[in-house]
Chains A and B, each alone.
Chain A
Amino acid sequence: MSFKRFQSSDCSTSTPVKASVQRYLKSSLVESNPLLAPHIDSLIPKKPPLTAYKVTSFLTLYTLNSLPILFETRDGPVLPTLRFVHQYPTLFTSCRVDSGAIPFILGGANIMCPGLVNPGSELNEDYEIGQSVVVYAEGKEHALAVGHLKMGAKEIKEVNKGMGCEVAHFIGDGLFETKSIE
């Protein structure tokens, strides 16, 4: 599941988001990104409301003034899009991968544990399984992917094998190329 092959024409049925749903979106976003709490209301104002686009049956994309800013999968957390993250880089829960992982991520791969453990990477020990993270890279300024952890941070360090973070959206994928949706 990712946006690798996404095109703006894949979106169907646009609906304005109900206030209650928008509250839920905000609260779940704040829950996974505590730093966002003081600013959330100015970043995602009540008016105009977000617009929700259905992408296939299990993916929803939320746009503000026709700019995609959030998306949600059936079983994953609410995640911000990368262009949104680039504008407000300090507000999101993040981790850092080592430089060796960059080309793989840019090709659409999920992040394997060693990429989050090797020297050059950073991962806060407190992160639980399912925590949504914005992925930065060693020696690079901008985020290159967003995703959620498939193991707890401690387990990642212990096991150091297999998939550690599922990447939902990365630089250069279909969603990133989609600058606005009409």
Chain B
Amino acid sequence: MSCPAPLSIIYCSKCGVPPEYCPFGPDFQSHCMPALIREHPALAQQLYGTQEATDPKSDSDDPAPTASKTVSEETTNLEPWTPTERLTAFYNKYDPTKIPSIPTILTKYSGKEDALFTALTVKYGDEPLDPYLKVKYGIVEEDDEEVVSEGVSGLKLAQGLATKKVFTGKARGTSVKSVEKTCTRIVISKSKLQKKKWQTIVIGLETSPTIKLKEASQAFRKRFAGSSSVKDVAGRKEVIIQGDHVEECGRFIVEKFKVKKEEVWIDEDGEFVNVC
């Protein structure tokens, strides 16, 4: 008897599992769904049935866009968003002045809404979440309170607040959860001991994955020919070096430990500047 030919299976290009299992993964909304719509529109339609909006064929016989525009409907609406609604939500969030020109934009991009929304996401950021998808798949919106280097307030730096939420990426199923990941942020400041005596305080060395605190302290000792110690202050580690070495210490950390310049900050009387 002849052997049946092997089936060719479509796997999600983002997470690698058959697309029907993507909703159980962590990045379904942000990665898998857009990829699936782009690469296998027919399959997306069949699996989720929510893709009328982006499917060019069904676009023409879809009378909804003008009809379902009222606000009351939008809030309780448990149908997937039409392109108009999607775009309105998008501009509401990012650029309300563009709302009047929505019909023009949609005519221009008719049949290519996919590309339009991809471009918009690139330009403005994440798309507002469709409440329909939220209800159907239990997707929860992520808070974008992530702090990137610029725009960090001095206070936050001083307190060594350097954590952000990220997904573990691999976990799938019930155990999907976000974990705290620390970004490297090193702050160097100095304080007066006596009249002409200073000490240099380095905060946040432990946030860099490449640095071991004790070794760093030892390196400082050698470099600055003075005492250097690791101190536990309110759950954080500080490295205290005798003498005023703020500038040099910054350069030393960047050179010796291969930390990025943007991640090392110097406290100059309450102002935080990047090491130069």
Q: Which residues of A contact B (CB under 8 A)?
A: 38-39, 42-43, 83, 86-91, 102-109, 140-142, 144, 171-172, 176-177
Given contacts A86-B9, A103-B24, A105-B173, contact A171 B4 (CB under 8 A): no
Which B-chain residue is minimally distant from A87 (CB atoms)? B6
Interface contact B4-A88, CB-CB below 8 Å = yes
Interface contact B17-A171, CB-CB below 8 Å = yes
Cβ proximity bits B1-34 to A, threshold 8 Å, 1 near / 0 not:
1111011110000011110110011000000000
Residues of B contacting A107 in the complex (Cβ-Cβ under 8 angstroms): 171-176
Residues of B contacting A106 in the complex (Cβ-Cβ under 8 angstroms): 21, 24, 172-174
Interface contact A142-B18, CB-CB below 8 Å = yes
Interface contact A142-B9, CB-CB below 8 Å = yes
- Interface residue count on the B side (C-beta < 8 Å): 23
Interface contact A39-B1, CB-CB below 8 Å = yes
Interface contact B173-A103, CB-CB below 8 Å = yes
Query: Could you list 13 A-B pairs, sorted by A, with CB under 8 Å?
Result: A38-B1, A90-B4, A106-B173, A107-B173, A108-B173, A109-B173, A141-B18, A141-B20, A142-B20, A171-B18, A172-B15, A172-B16, A172-B172
Which A-chain residue is minimally distant from B6 (CB atoms)? A87
Closest chain-B Cβ to A136's Cβ sits at a distance in Å of 11
A46 to B2, CA, bound (A): 16
A38 to B175, CA, bound (A): 41
Residues of B contacting A176 in the complex (Cβ-Cβ under 8 angstroms): 16-17
A177 to B170, CA, bound (A): 10
A91 to B5, CA, bound (A): 12
B1, B8, B21, B174: the one contacting A171 at CB < 8 Å is B21
Closest chain-B Cβ to A138's Cβ sits at a distance in Å of 12
Which A-chain residue is minimally distant from B175 (CB atoms)? A107
A103 to B9, CA, bound (A): 21
A42 to B172, CA, bound (A): 35
A171 to B272, CA, bound (A): 48
A90 to B3, CA, bound (A): 12
Residues of A contacting B173 in the complex (Cβ-Cβ under 8 angstroms): 102-109, 172
Interface contact A89-B7, CB-CB below 8 Å = yes
Interface contact A39-B7, CB-CB below 8 Å = no
A142 to B3, CA, bound (A): 20
Residues of B contacting A102 in the complex (Cβ-Cβ under 8 angstroms): 21, 24, 173
Which A-chain residue is minimally distant from B7 (CB atoms)? A87
Which A-chain residue is minimally distant from B25 (CB atoms)? A172
- Residues 125-175 of B contacting A (Cβ, < 8 Å): 170-175
Which of B7, B17, B176 has the largest number of chain A CB atoms within 10 A? B17
Closest chain-B Cβ to A170's Cβ sits at a distance in Å of 9
Closest chain-B Cβ to A28's Cβ sits at a distance in Å of 20
B3, B8, B9, B170: the one contacting A39 at CB < 8 Å is B3
- Residues 180-199 of B contacting A (Cβ, < 8 Å): none
A19 to B40, CA, bound (A): 43
Residues of B contacting A108 in the complex (Cβ-Cβ under 8 angstroms): 173, 175
Known pairs A105-B173, A141-B18, A142-B21 / 5 extra A-B pairs, C-beta < 8 Å: A38-B1, A86-B9, A90-B4, A91-B4, A107-B171
Closest chain-B Cβ to A80's Cβ sits at a distance in Å of 13
Residues of A contacting B3 in the complex (Cβ-Cβ under 8 angstroms): 39, 42-43
A154 to B174, CA, bound (A): 29
Residues of B contacting A89 in the complex (Cβ-Cβ under 8 angstroms): 7
Residues of B contacting A39 in the complex (Cβ-Cβ under 8 angstroms): 1, 3-4
Residues of B contacting A109 in the complex (Cβ-Cβ under 8 angstroms): 173-174
Interface contact B6-A88, CB-CB below 8 Å = yes
Residues of A contacting B1 in the complex (Cβ-Cβ under 8 angstroms): 38-39
A121 to B174, CA, bound (A): 20
Which B-chain residue is minimally distant from A171 (CB atoms)? B17
A104 to B8, CA, bound (A): 27
Residues of A contacting B7 in the complex (Cβ-Cβ under 8 angstroms): 86-89
A39 to B1, CA, bound (A): 7
Closest chain-B Cβ to A166's Cβ sits at a distance in Å of 17
Interface contact A86-B18, CB-CB below 8 Å = yes
- Residues 20-56 of B contacting A (Cβ, < 8 Å): 20-21, 24-25
Q: Which 5 A-B pairs have the closest CB atoms?
A: A107-B173, A106-B173, A42-B3, A87-B6, A38-B1
